[in-house]
Amino acid sequence: MILKKKYLNKKDNKIAITIKNLTITYKTIKKFSIKKNLLRFKKSKLDTFTAIDDVSYDVEAGKIIGIIGKNGSGKSTLLRAIAGIFSPDSGIIDLHDNTVSLLSIGVGFQRKLTGIENIYLNGLLLGFTESEIKEKMNDIIEFADIGDFIYKPVQTYSSGMYSKLAFAITSILETDIILIDEVLSVGDAEFQKKSYDRMKELITAEHRTVLIVSHNASTIKELCDEVIWLHDGKIKEIGEPGAVMDNYLKFMGRK
């Protein structure tokens, strides 16, 4: 359940996101053979995979939180749940009336629409008016720097162009909460530096809250105030970025 209005005590106005006993599960097919299933006309057995397992955490307004963990630990699932893309099986996510945007490759674009059309669509979905989007349009196009592709369908884009446009929209149309899922290391070297510098600018705003999923240790250590280490859908450790990242790298056998 996603709550857009506060359910906590009104005097607590320093919390941007409240996550309480959050659990998200997927149903997966354990073994699947097209030939066997067509011949037997039997339904495949479904397994239940718990991506997020009873997670609770309060994100303070204005904080930059890093989220780390091995592949499959639940990092992207958590961000998508906060963004309202995934519905929890149980538990609560309270955004405390904050606006939220998710920056992730493969999320948020209609592939048959042009870049310009997707800017409008994403802006409207984020709660901006058409006039507000128009006012920021040139800044978005300039930052994305994908040339005439801005007038072409997104399905013709490379992954680098896709990420450039996605980052431009999210960073120019600023929301209260920004969720970043492994996109600071995509694109060419020049764009990586530009997006990294822009992210540091956004972070300096005291009211803005940022959650970053990344495998880049230096990014996490430099940008984040605190780090959450997820392991098999559970919180394994929370703390100072350097210490948590070092423990994680030792655990993964990289240090």
Amino acid at position 68, single letter: I
- The pLDDT of 101-113, averaged and rounded, is 81
In a domain, 18, yes or no: no
In a domain, 194, yes or no: yes
Per residue in 203-227, pLDDT (tens digit) is 767 788 999 998 888 889 988 999 9
Question: Can you name the residues that pair with 3 across neighbouring β-strands?
Answer: 94
In a domain, 22, yes or no: no
Per residue in 16-39, pLDDT (tens digit) is 999 999 999 987 666 555 555 555
Domain that holds residue 144: 63-88+98-251
Phi, psi of 223 (to 5 degrees): -90, -30
Which CATH number is 67's domain given?
A: 3.40.50.300
Task: Report the distance separating Cα 155 and Cα 205, nearest Å.
Answer: 34
Prediction pTM value = 0.79
In a domain, 78, yes or no: yes
In a domain, 216, yes or no: yes
Q: How many domains does the chain have?
A: 1
Per residue in 127-182, pLDDT (tens digit) is 899 999 999 999 999 999 999 999 999 999 988 888 889 888 988 988 999 998 87
Angle made by CA atoms 102, 181, 24, in degrees to the nearest 5: 80
Residue 67, pLDDT above cutoff 80: yes
Strand runs labelled E in 30-89: 46-60, 64-68
Beta strands 100-104 and 234-239, pairing class: unpaired
- The pLDDT of 76-98, averaged and rounded, is 94
In a domain, 58, yes or no: no
pLDDT for residue 10: 37
In a domain, 206, yes or no: yes
Range name among 59-68, 85-94, 114-123, 158-167 with the lowest pLDDT average: 158-167
207 or 113, which is more confident: 113
* Contact call for residues 173 and 126 (beta carbons, < 8 A): yes
In a domain, 153, yes or no: yes
Angle of helix 115-125 relative to helix 130-144, nearest 10 degrees, comes to 130
